[in-house]
Chain A
């Protein structure tokens, strides 16, 4: 037992060591960013890098927390925990308003500043008493994508949804369908998150529905296997293909004209801006007068240089 205690003490000491911060005239500010993403979601790497960079530039501590399996009820507990450790601010997503509004409200009432990022709406952010909302309104982004796809000749589509349990992500498919002026019907596929499964489900769907001429994927998780599927059945470059969010494979596919465009919600801004805004609010009492829309931004073959350089890191 003593050896266990020693081991634990040593490990804890090692883990806590890097968290001592030098003061530079400011009182040290501590912020926590709570996301709803499971460990397996690589998209949130950009967020981690964004808060690290912002924390470094404005000299504040920012920690990243997430529920390992993406269970929103676990996320609520994490927000409660963050509030209990009295940070100066909490940056969080509103993945499920019913579940998260209570804990967030409690944190706000305790005097902790909250900024809502990524998921949620400006209205919901106001309702829980947050300072502001930084993100991309999902339905509107989907609608814009649908209108654009209609102009590019899409008549029947498949929407590959890898996060069926998150209603906000599904809004993208709904907006896309409305933009095209088509009923969503069963065009939204619950693909799961396993790459091999996604690939084979897309292959099966396309062979069963040969008249599908447009695909929308909702992020790298569903886009990468879909690219592989299209390369396998020879539809790559032939079928209209739009996707949300960017990743290395997606950038390559835009370059190779397999994907027509990617919608960038610029996660970097969703992570970076709240940290800077909170720091300035805590230090100087200044706050922008509006919510910040980080997207949608269509990334086509023409604007790829910067995206390529920082794909998966800051883009």
Chain B
């Protein structure tokens, strides 16, 4: 907000405090505080808040965040992408096929995979804006198309559905560590030596810290959240995203390139899914045909908990990031609290419902709609 030197009687006066408080991510903030308070009460000494536990739910939350940023911007632009989960599986298999089966250098395999997946995202977007079909339907089709190829390609080439050996193939590569590496090792070694965090008790790594660095997955999540937030709130393109999702026709009439914006958002969503996939295959060393099942819904849930509107035109990347954090903390926290794991979905449903009700109420205050 810029300071206006003279007061304008057309602008409603609101207190600074109220302005600071009433934002789309308020629901996410309240939820985050509530969730942490709850688990601090019920699972304080279960290891959930020791270094290893914190890393555990941080990684899960970061995974949700990476796909939630893409899903959030796309949803604000008024579209859906249900093919995110299939795209994750597809991208992983592509990397395995190029890098292991065809034995290309890993950096080429990664870049080609990014190119293919972003092109598929663009195709998704192109079909949506060209045909005027709901993106729900178009991307549902791609959910099946991509999953089918993800199973068919490795079956045909390798006669199996999991391709391993990616870690060996990525040995010494310059690009692979940007997705699968860890940063900050010396700090963690020092923390381990100082007895602040747990160390291995036996085996070849006895005495080394159990948590030996921040995985690049978390770094990527933070970078994408910052990038998405700045894009949405500080740039002209961000305004276009809101306009395209709010009222596409009105936006077109005032000169916003709505189709271009939507296609770019589909590309960005595919890009986020690919980042997720590359981090996963680099960490685990194998790609599987069943990776990423239902991840599109997890992304959408995180975005909705974060206060975005399913119909487009309203939402915030920070909110989606908080939604991802809530989702990750609840999912892992219930394990730490020793809750029967099948009850996890019950909690998730309750939280989703509560979050949407709260967000609706907050949105009404902000926009003044009834």
Contacts and interface: CB of A to CB of B under 8 A. Distances in A.
B155 A12 contact: no
Contacts of B285: 98-99, 102
A165 B288 contact: yes
B347 A72 contact: no
B161 interface: yes
B286 A109 contact: no
B335 interface: yes
A96 B289 CA distance: 12
Contact of A77 (B56, B291, B337): B56
Sorting the interface of chain B by its residue count into under 10, 10 to 19, 20 to 34 or 35 or more gives: 35 or more
A170 B288 CA distance: 14
A165 B161 contact: yes
A39 B342 contact: yes
Contact of B202 (A7, A15, A109): A109
A213 B162 CA distance: 30
B47 interface: yes
B338 interface: yes
Contact of A7 (B50, B342, B350): B350
A15 B330 CA distance: 14
B161 A1 contact: no
A1 B293 contact: no
A108 B203 contact: yes
Contact of A98 (B47, B164, B294): B164
Interface stretch (A60-68, A219-227, A297-305): A60-68
A85 B343 CA distance: 19
A13 B41 CA distance: 10
A5 interface: yes
B137 interface: no
B60 A77 contact: yes
Contacts of A82: 335
Nearest to B152: A190
A203 interface: no
A76 interface: yes
B151 A164 contact: yes
A157 B129 CA distance: 48
Contacts of B34: 1, 4-5, 8
Given A82-B335, A110-B210, A70 B203 contact: no
B56 to A, nearest CB: 5
A6 B256 CA distance: 46
Given A11-B350, A81-B332, A85-B47, A98 B289 contact: no
A73 B202 contact: no
A68 B345 CA distance: 10
A66 B151 contact: no
Interface in A1-32: 1, 4-5, 7-9, 11-13, 15-16, 19
A147 interface: no
A66 B288 CA distance: 17
Interface in A163-192: 164-167, 170, 190
Interface in B18-71: 30-31, 34, 37-38, 41-42, 46-48, 50, 52-53, 55-56, 59-60
B354 interface: yes
B341 interface: yes
A111 B286 CA distance: 26
A64 B344 CA distance: 13
A43 interface: no
Interface in B66-95: none
A314 B230 CA distance: 57
A212 interface: no
A209 interface: no
A126 to B, nearest CB: 14
B339 interface: yes
Given A81-B332, A84-B53, A102-B284, A70 B290 contact: yes
A205 B328 CA distance: 43
Nearest to B50: A84
B105 interface: no
A111 B48 contact: no
Nearest to B27: A1
Nearest to A100: B284
Nearest to A129: B203
A190 B290 CA distance: 13
B200 interface: yes
Given A96-B162, A99-B285, A81 B151 contact: no
A109 B205 contact: yes
B48 A84 contact: yes
Contacts of B202: 108-109, 111
Contacts of A19: 338
Contact of A73 (B165, B205, B284, B347): B284
A99 B210 contact: no
B155 A15 contact: no
Contact of A85 (B53, B60, B203): B53
B358 interface: yes
Contacts of A106: 200, 210
Contact of B358 (A4, A15, A66, A190): A4
B252 interface: no
Nearest to A108: B203
Interface string A89-106: 000000011110010011
A170 B154 CA distance: 14
Question: 10 nearest interchain CB pairs?
Answer: A98-B286, A109-B203, A69-B293, A165-B290, A111-B201, A98-B164, A84-B52, A99-B284, A109-B200, A4-B354
Interface of A: 1, 4-5, 7-9, 11-13, 15-16, 19, 39, 63-66, 68-73, 76-78, 80-86, 96-99, 102, 105-106, 108-111, 129, 164-167, 170, 190
Given A76-B284, A84-B50, A102-B285, 14 more contacts: A4-B354, A4-B358, A15-B343, A16-B42, A69-B290, A69-B293, A71-B290, A71-B293, A84-B52, A85-B48, A86-B47, A98-B284, A102-B284, A165-B288
24 contacts: A1-B358, A4-B31, A4-B34, A4-B358, A5-B37, A5-B38, A70-B290, A70-B293, A71-B292, A73-B291, A84-B53, A85-B47, A85-B336, A98-B167, A98-B284, A102-B284, A106-B200, A108-B203, A109-B205, A110-B201, A111-B202, A129-B203, A165-B161, A165-B289
